Structure 1
Amino acid sequence: MPQEKSNSKAATLAGLSLTGAGVAHFVRPELFEGITKAAFPDDISRHLQINGSIETALGVGFLIPQTRKLAVLGSIGYVGYLAVNVLRNR
């Protein structure tokens, strides 16, 4: 039981952090422009909104126990998607 509570707290913290980062893409997009430009040099504004939406959705996925496994898989795919675009646009 203690391990389950620990996992739940970690997932909640991850969910809140990722949701906050996702929302921040809309509130303070300038914080993410440099990072976004590396992966998506064209139409940065559009990709800021896309990335913010994805991160918000993944964060909410971590907050809901029934969708945590799906959020983990989505996060792995999202990190891969970002990495491929950074490498492609070097």
Structure 2
Amino acid sequence: MSAESPRASRLPLYAGLALAGVGLAHFTSPTLFDSMTRQAFPRETRKHVYIDGGVETALGLGLVSRRTRKFALAGGIGYLAYLGANAARVNSAR
């Protein structure tokens, strides 16, 4: 039996669904994400909005299942490092 409270055990589920929802919003309302994405990807920004949406949807769905949660967390860390490195590269070139 787990010592985890029911509320705590649902947190990854809700966080995953929220992240997947934000990921899907990249496809339904891409203009909302253009200015933020442009900071890391100034060229072909819209293409990267869609790519980011796909990645965030996949990571969010990965958080929903206990079996894939560790992989989704590792992927999320890699994804944040990738975005941060691109933003730093673009800003250092200015």
TM interval, short-chain normalised? over 0.9
1:9-20 to structure 2, matched below 5 A, reads 9-20=10-21
Amino acid at match of 2:86: N
Cα shift at 1:14:
1.1
Gaps of 5+ in 2: none
SS of residue in 1 equivalent to 2:67:
helix
Amino acid at match of 2:78: G
Gaps of 5+ in 1: none
What value does the CA root-mean-square deviation take over the aligned residues? 1.2
> Structure 2 length as normaliser, TM-score?
0.90
**In structure 2, distance between residues paired with 1:56 and 1:32:** 14
Residues matched between the structures, number? 90
Cα shift at 1:64:
1.2
**In structure 2, distance between residues paired with 1:74 and 1:8:** 20
Identity %: 42
Task: Give the aligned partner of residue 59 of structure 1.
Answer: 60
Cα shift at 1:4:
5.5
The structure richer in helix per residue is 1
1:37-89 per-position Cα deviation (integer Å, ceiling 9, x unaligned): 00000001110110000000000000111000000000000000000010001
> Structure 1 length as normaliser, TM-score?
0.94
Amino acid at match of 2:18: S
1:17-32 to structure 2, matched below 5 A, reads 17-32=18-33
Task: Give the aligned partner of residue 47 of structure 1.
Answer: 48
